[in-house]
Structure 1
Amino acid sequence: MTPDDLAGLLDEANHDPWESVSSALATIDGQPHPRVGWLTTHLRATKHESWTAIAAATGTPAPPDDAGLTRLMAWEVGAARALSPQALDTAVEHAGRAFTVAGLLRVNARHTAWHAGQIAALASRDRRA
């Protein structure tokens, strides 16, 4: 896969109009289920951690520390697109596992899609105070 291919996967997981974090969040009307807050906080943290590891391994810019999930999702698409093809083969460790940068970006996209589905499922649930 190329940097553009990986950026496309992340963009779809983050922003696709039908099946993404953004589209799942857009279906929430009113008070969200409490678990949605945990999921969005978790996604932001894992994306930031992944990209911090990628930046350290490749010498590329680190993610902005003050970015929330929405801004970080937009940032990471551009950051993935800016990686060199050689950077994709760079070894990186995340959460105690060894990856290539390309492998970690694929995990990031799968992880994002997984949680987007959870958010979508919770969007239609009754909310309790």
Structure 2
Amino acid sequence: MIFEVLVLLNLAISFFAFYMIFKGKKNYQLLIEKKDQELTALTQQMTILRSEIEEVRGGLLSIGKRILKLEHTTKELIENQQELKFVDPDSKMYSRAVKMVELGADLDEIIKECELPRAEAELLISLHQQKN
């Protein structure tokens, strides 16, 4: 009788153990499926983000090229402006007159040294005074 009870008890424990293993396996499979779905979603998000990064990178390269062109153009314009400043004799005369005004030369001295008409020399002095 004790033997039969032990056999039944052992059988019940075995069934319970198999049930728990089966239930645990099922929960584990559900967990794996859930993690697979999360992994798929994250992979899709990563793909989208990579394409967005590529778009931003392309835009930045385009902007960089434009900036380089603008810097080159600006440099050329500055060089051309400097060349024109030294080529035009009138601009030399006016540049010199402006320097003299800045250094505090009087009206007669500017007229004599720069060969400017009195009205233009007065205008330069007047502009310089307004500036200051």
Bucket of the pairwise TM-score, normalised by the shorter protein? under 0.3
TM-score (norm 1): 0.22
Higher share of residues assigned strand: 1
TM-score (norm 2): 0.21
Answer with 1 or 2: which has the greater Rg. Answer: 2
